Amino acid sequence: MDMKEFSEKNRERCEHPKGFNHALDSWSVSDWFTALLGELGEAANVAKKLNRVRDGIPGNKETEAELKKKLERELADAFIYFDLLCQRCRVDLPAAVLDTFFRKSLEIGYESFDLSIPGSREHLQRACPEHLAIQLNRKGKP
């Protein structure tokens, strides 16, 4: 499942009567931010407990393995809300992430895309044509 397919499923489950039965637009952007930050707070609390493990500080009720699994789930919860927040904001997350990643790569002079890989030019042309043009121009290739 790619990111676009996941986003479609995520929204479908959010809004479906047999899912959360919660229309995406019935919550404000602030509401979705609150949900996202709640999950990040839960993840941070687990990270704090893993710091206790690292530092030999007592107080945890769960094992390190249990905490690592819990961190994984809280981060996933956060991602799920982040995706819904982006949908609420009408942000095309995969496109925005690629565009932002490539722009920063260009800014720092990092060749983030190996154009010698078959199909990579076409992929980059679809994802971020501006980045492809700049990268080709930098290499002096038409």
What is the binding site for Mg ion (CB under 5 A)?
39, 42, 74, 77
Residue from 88, 131, 95 nearest 113 by CA:
131
Residue 22 Rama label (left phi>0; alpha psi -120 to 50; beta): beta
Smallest separation (angstroms) from Mg ion to the CB of 16: 20
**Chain centroid to CA 66: how far?**
24
Q: Is 113 exposed, middle or buried (0-12, 13-18, 19+ CB in 10 A)?
A: buried
Smallest separation (angstroms) from Mg ion to the CB of 132: 39
Nearer to Mg ion, 39 or 83 (CB): 39
Nearer to Mg ion, 44 or 127 (CB): 44
Continuous H helices in 17-119: 29-55, 64-88, 93-108
Kindly report the number of other CB atoms within 10 A of residue 51's CB atom.
Answer: 10
Residue whose beta carbon is closest to Mg ion: 77
Smallest separation (angstroms) from Mg ion to the CB of 73: 7
Nearer to Mg ion, 77 or 99 (CB): 77
Smallest separation (angstroms) from Mg ion to the CB of 44: 11
Nearer to Mg ion, 74 or 83 (CB): 74
